[in-house]
Structure 1
Amino acid sequence: MNNDLILGIESDEKELVGWIFLKDIDHGHGRASIGILLSSESRGHGYGRMAMKQMIDLGFKQLRLNKIYLTTRGINEQAIALYEKIGFIIEGKLRNHAYVDGKYVDTYFMGILASEWNK
């Protein structure tokens, strides 16, 4: 069975602007990976932050997870800043883990715990 939850993200005009998902939901260990995909023209309008907060809330309160985590490329400073504002903490760095635009870049592993979210 696929333990993923995928939801659409709507704009204020009720148009689909992206997707957000909890992937590899593991109730035994109380964890899941979160990811988001927004259309390029929808970035910077607050949809990502709103969708992330709603999905994290759902993960902790309804699915009773203990931890939600993600990976992001170290060059994606806008995403890292958003994740940190929401409450994610950088837990580790995989050095030269991805090859992007002709060079190797780091990948960050970030996580947030239910106890941190519920503060």
Structure 2
Amino acid sequence: MNIRPLAKQDLPHIYQQKNSRSVMALWFEEPFNSLDELTILYDRHVLDQSERRFVIEDDNQFVGVVELIDINTIHRHCEIQIIIDTKFQGQGLAQKGLRAGIEYAFSVLNLHKIYLYVDVENPAAIHIYQKFGFQEEGRLKKHYFAEGRYHDSLMMGLFANEFYQEK
């Protein structure tokens, strides 16, 4: 398993992932309407220094993405997101991709903290995040609307010194 920067040729894979209502509900987002829309967003954000998007590959196959967004170089924090294609779930690739994203944020970008939002009804993801040392920082009640209803979300955070202490 390795990660590499997202490239334009990866967009059909992203489009397929992001057009799954069940997958996007976990990210509290609407599916994209078209590949053209996704291409426009890619072109608009490719040079944005407040974001880093990586493809997770295994045996040269597209497995998913890990994203660092809202990178703040003054306060040295960012949000992390990860999506693993359903056919690759349950193989430990989410943990490997998450670890790679965390290590990039802390060791390359020199960030102090990484945070994320997760649906309180997603215990599998919460368990993975806790294994890496993410701790609950708060509960946001009815914060996201997905799949026809409002969802509570946990905000979880991880500090660089705590991540490296656990190794």
The TM-score with structure 2 as length reference comes to 0.67
Q: CA deviation at 1:54?
A: 1.1
Q: What secondary structure is seen at the aligned counterpart in 1 of 2:99?
A: helix
State which of 20, 43, 56 in structure 1 corresponds to 2:66: 20
* RMSD (Å), alpha carbons: 1.3
Structure of larger gyration radius: 2
- Structure 2 counterpart of 1:62: 108
Matched residues in 2 for 1:9 and 1:18: separation? 5
Matched residues in 2 for 1:14 and 1:98: separation? 35
State yes or no: 1:87 paired with 2:154: no
Q: Deviations over 1:37-61 (max 9, x none)?
A: 1111111111110011111111111
Matched residues in 1 for 2:149 and 2:90: separation? 26
Matched residues in 1 for 2:54 and 2:146: separation? 28
- Structure 2 counterpart of 1:6: 53
- Structure 1 counterpart of 2:119: 73
Matched residues in 2 for 1:81 and 1:66: separation? 22
The TM-score with structure 1 as length reference comes to 0.92
Q: Alignment length, in residue pairs?
A: 118
Q: How does 1:91-102 map to 2 (within 5 A)?
A: 91-102=137-148
* Structure 1 segments unaligned to the other structure (5+ residues): none
More strand by share: 1
Q: Deviations over 1:10-68 (max 9, x none)?
A: 12x22001111111111111001100111111111111100111111111111110000
State yes or no: 1:43 paired with 2:89: yes
* Farther off after superposition, 99-108 or 62-71: 99-108
Q: CA deviation at 1:102?
A: 4.0
